[in-house]
Amino acid sequence: MAPEFYLLIVMVGVFALTVFLGQFPIGVSLMLASIAGTLLAGYGIPLRHLVEGSFAYLDPMLIIASAMIFMEIIRETGALGEISRLIISSLHRRPFWMLALITIFIMFPGMITGLSTAAVLTTGAIVAPALMAMGIPRVKTGSIIAMTAIFGMVAPPINVPAMIIGGGVDMPYIGFGLPLTFASFPIAIAVAQLLGRRHVDPDLARKSLDHIPRLGEGRNRFRLYLPILLLVILMLAARVTPGKYTNLGMPLILLICCAAAIGSGRGFNLLTVTRKAMRNALPVMGILVGIGMFIQIMSLTGVRGYLIVKTLQLPSFWLYIGIMVSLPLFGAISAYGASYVLGVPFLLALLGSNEIVVASGLTLIASLGDMMPPTALAGIFAAQVVDESNYFRILKHCLPYIFMTAVFGIIMILFANQLAKFLVI
């Protein structure tokens, strides 16, 4: 066996031991695994490489931090609650369209943060009582929220796993809008309909509005929704008319929208809200720091090249089976880690197919890790939101849709070149 194989085993072993037995945070465990690899390879503790790696994903970290602050602010102002009331009151007699818009509404925080948990804990928590009140069973409500939050993590404009895979092969995060839209919205709406459509009672749907807190009469609704409208306008301005407007970057755009939200609805303490948002964001940012270190050390020690070579040698059938099985299972520890450690070699093994569509399919499959035990972030938080004590009941309902999603991702990869004719501009 090549020495890189033993280095890989040691690094993964140290990571697993520190996470599951030592109960260390994932980011710290990745750092310790990186140091174990450098010590075994004879590099000592190379501080330059560790520090350099920790800044590898600075852009996604800034986006996550600013997006979490924005989501927490518009939740406090009452904008999210009023949007959900508007959807249900307008479409309660049309259950298909009501569920479709509720699905997109739940996805929204994941779309701008790249985090499934952001969607579960904000929009998911807001609509959960209403979904149950309109006739959808508790476990299926939790399943809808968990799966929809995962699809929100995949949807544009922010898909952190796609950024990570792109960074691993020097592919800029450009042109992913339509492929990620195709990878997320159709299947998200289909899963929500399959789980909840037959349970929705239009009369109960109307009454379910009582379970969503009211903002109060006399509020200026345009002013309330202005931060969200401004976010959409600023994100689209540089994309729709390239060259005419300078792209401000997502962190600055989000902070501008945060400022626009002040005074738009209910009052809030900016410092308190910011602290709460950062507490929720820091664990994920820590994971990205750890992933950056881990990747840097894999490159330094030759483990990265070893993985790529071995992946390239896999027969086509086993390559696709490996993608379907290993990406979600490794994603149980971290979908971000799976995207680099496995996603990058898989993308390189599939060179010849359109890289943007392939990367979009890979991130769709990797995101399913947020439903896999033991961490199962989306599933466990969704169970808490609907007051379901046994997360595995939600996982049981989601398993057919997890498999369906993985198959959809594989189909995207298999037909990447054909899809690229319509999806990549």
C-beta of residue 136 within 8 angstroms of C-beta of residue 196: yes
83 DSSP assignment: H
C-beta of residue 149 within 8 angstroms of C-beta of residue 179: no
Q: Check residues 202 and 96 and name the one with the higher pLDDT.
A: 96
Omega of the bond leading into 179 within 30 degrees of 0 (cis): no
Q: Which of 120, 94, 89 is nearest to 105 (CA)?
A: 120
Confidence check: pLDDT of 42 > 60: yes
Which two tokens mark 197? 């459509």
| Identity of residue 403 | F
**Residue 242: what are its φ and ψ, rounded to 5°?**
-60, 135
Which two tokens mark 224? 């309330």
C-beta of residue 143 within 8 angstroms of C-beta of residue 398: yes
Write down the mean pLDDT value for the chain: 85
pLDDT digits (tens, 9 = 90+) for 216-237: 555 667 888 888 888 888 887 7
Residue with tokens 């308190």: 272
pTM: 0.83
Taking residues 88-95, what's their average pLDDT? 83
- C-alpha to C-alpha distance for 392 and 398, rounded to whole angstroms: 10
Please state, as a whole number, how many other Cβ atoms lie within 10 Å of the Cβ of residue 55: 14
3-class DSSP string for 182-237: HHHHHHHHHHHHHHHHHHCCHHHHHHHHHHCCCCCCCCCHHHHHHHHHHHHHHHHH
C-beta of residue 227 within 8 angstroms of C-beta of residue 257: yes
Give CA separation, 178 vs 136, 156, 233, in Å.
32, 8, 18
| Identity of residue 81 | G
Structural domain boundaries in the chain:
3-423
Q: Report pLDDT for 359.
A: 93
- C-alpha to C-alpha distance for 413 and 343, rounded to whole angstroms: 12
Residue 199: which residues within 8 A CB-CB, separation 6 or more? 134, 135, 136, 137, 140
Please state, as a whole number, how many other Cβ atoms lie within 10 Å of the Cβ of residue 267: 9
Q: Which residues pair with 245 in a beta bridge?
A: 242
Which of 157-166, 194-203, 204-213, 393-402 has the lowest average pLDDT?
204-213
C-beta of residue 64 within 8 angstroms of C-beta of residue 281: yes
Q: Which of 271, 301, 238, 219 is nearest to 34 (CA)?
A: 301
245-254 contacts, C-beta under 8 A, 24 or more apart: 250/62, 250/63, 250/66, 250/67, 250/112, 250/157, 250/158, 251/62, 251/63, 251/65, 251/66, 254/63, 254/66, 254/67, 254/69, 254/70, 254/112
Residue with tokens 């090249």: 305
- C-alpha to C-alpha distance for 105 and 94, rounded to whole angstroms: 16
Taking residues 28-44, what's their average pLDDT? 89
Taking residues 119-146, what's their average pLDDT? 88
Q: Which of 374, 368, 322, 379 is nearest to 345 (CA)?
A: 322
265 DSSP assignment: S
Q: Give, rounded to a whole angstrom, the gap between the first and last alpha carbons of the chain.
A: 44
pLDDT digits (tens, 9 = 90+) for 234-285: 887 766 655 666 677 888 888 999 999 888 888 888 899 999 889 888 887 8
CA triple 352-357-112, angle to 5 deg: 150
